[in-house]
Amino acid sequence: MKDQTEHSVHRIIEIIDRLRGPNGCPWDRRQKRGDVGRYLLEEVYEVIDAIDQASPDSLKEELGDVLFQILFLAKMAEEKGEFTIADVVNGISEKMIFRHPHVFKNAQALEVGEVRANWERLKNREKGKGEDEAPPIDAVPRSMPPLMAAHKITGRAAKLGFDWKDTSGVMEKIEEELAELREAISEGRKDRIEGEIGDMFLSLVNLCRFVQTNPEDTLRSSLERFTARFSFIEESLKKEGRPPQGATMEEMDLLWNAAKETERDR
């Protein structure tokens, strides 16, 4: 199994070498890091979709796409004399060993919470910080999707003591932001409306933290329900020989409620 894995990895590295070589693919040779970074992000989201679909075949394919982009980036760095693929693999191997002393050193059994706390202390030590020092707010990557970044940033602020005591405080903040949004809309000020909507998003992300749900997963589930219900509307109208544009809002609303009833019956 080990020999087979090594052969497979060596093969894809040779393929990337050829693609980037003088007689390789013009499109692959012209790629920049920023281009590959965007492809990598897209592929990671496709991995998440495959996980949600519980499809082993899709997951296998999408993991291959992610691996290709990672190896491709490493190859580009190797061409510049910065580091090699081996450096990447050795680096993460050493990091995992260092951050799991309870496995690779003293074999001490720890609870999940202790493992997480120890991970953060060791991570800080690697970066030359105090072991109990919280990560700075501005350390969240700028390219991270805003909803995910909001969850991380507000969570870090909370660890520094900038947070409500309980859920009721968050709910009051949401009501306050909603009142300010209504006021901005009544004034017709686009700049203020955008700001107040952003504040509403942020307050809802804080609520997600308090009720221990991930905002991205929550929104994704709502989008899936919306898509399923609207597809039900489209299919129902199609059976009547009508497009959605030919139906009134009242008719579509009735079908929407019928779709919700169908969900409850499952």
Residue 261 maps to a domain: yes
**pLDDT tens track for 25-51:** 999 999 999 999 999 989 998 999 899
132 vs 149, higher pLDDT: 149
Residue 236 maps to a domain: yes
Other CB atoms closer than 10 Å to residue 177's CB: what's the count? 19
Q: Are both 58 and 104 inside the same structural domain?
A: no
**pLDDT tens track for 84-127:** 999 999 999 999 998 888 888 876 767 877 877 777 788 777 77
pLDDT at 116: 78
pLDDT at 126: 77
Q: Are both 73 and 11 inside the same structural domain?
A: yes
Q: Are both 190 and 233 inside the same structural domain?
A: no
The whole-number average pLDDT for the span 58-62 is: 96
Q: Are both 206 and 155 inside the same structural domain?
A: yes
Nearest-angstrom CA–CA distance, 195 and 187: 14
pLDDT over 80 (residue 166): yes
Nearest Cα residue to 126 out of 163, 106, 101: 101
Q: Are both 61 and 43 inside the same structural domain?
A: yes
Could you write out the DSSP letters of every residue in the chain? -HHHHHHHHHHHHHHHHHHHSTTS-HHHHT--HHHHHHHHHHHHHHHHHHHHTT-HHHHHHHHHHHHHHHHHHHHHHHHTTS--HHHHHHHHHHHHHHH-HHHHTS-----HHHHHHHHHHHHHHHTTS-TTPPPPGGGS-TTS-HHHHHHHHHHHHHHTT-S-SSHHHHHHHHHHHHHHHHHHHHHT-HHHHHHHHHHHHHHHHHHHHHTT--HHHHHHHHHHHHHHHHHHHHHHHHHTT--GGGS-HHHHHHHHHHHHHHHHH-
Q: Are both 144 and 169 inside the same structural domain?
A: yes
Burial 107-124 (b: 16+ CB within 10 A, else e): eeeeeeeeeeebebbbeb
Tell me, what CATH number does 45's domain have? 1.10.287.1080
Residue 16 maps to a domain: yes
pTM of the model: 0.69
Confidence of residue 52 (pLDDT cuts 50, 70, 90): confident
Residue 74 maps to a domain: yes
* Domains: count for the chain: 4
Residue 227 maps to a domain: yes
Provide φ and ψ at 76, rounded to 5°. Answer: -60, -40
pLDDT at 266: 67
Residue 34 maps to a domain: yes
Given 30, 57, 89, which residue is the final one in a domain? 89
Confidence of residue 153 (pLDDT cuts 50, 70, 90): very high
Q: Are both 118 and 144 inside the same structural domain?
A: no
Q: Are both 16 and 80 inside the same structural domain?
A: yes
The overall average pLDDT reported for the chain is: 91
Q: What percent of the chain has pLDDT over 90?
A: 71
Q: Are both 63 and 7 inside the same structural domain?
A: yes
List own/partner pairs for 66-71 with CB under 8 A and 24 or more apart. Answer: 66/40, 67/12, 68/12, 68/16, 69/36, 69/39, 69/40, 69/43, 70/40, 71/12, 71/13, 71/16
Q: Are both 6 and 85 inside the same structural domain?
A: yes
Confidence of residue 254 (pLDDT cuts 50, 70, 90): very high
Residue 95 maps to a domain: no
Q: Are both 35 and 70 inside the same structural domain?
A: yes
Q: Are both 183 and 243 inside the same structural domain?
A: no
Range of the domain at 241: 217-265
* 104 contacts 122 by C-beta, under 8 angstroms: no
pLDDT at 109: 63
Residue 94 maps to a domain: no
The whole-number average pLDDT for the span 204-224 is: 94
pLDDT at 123: 78
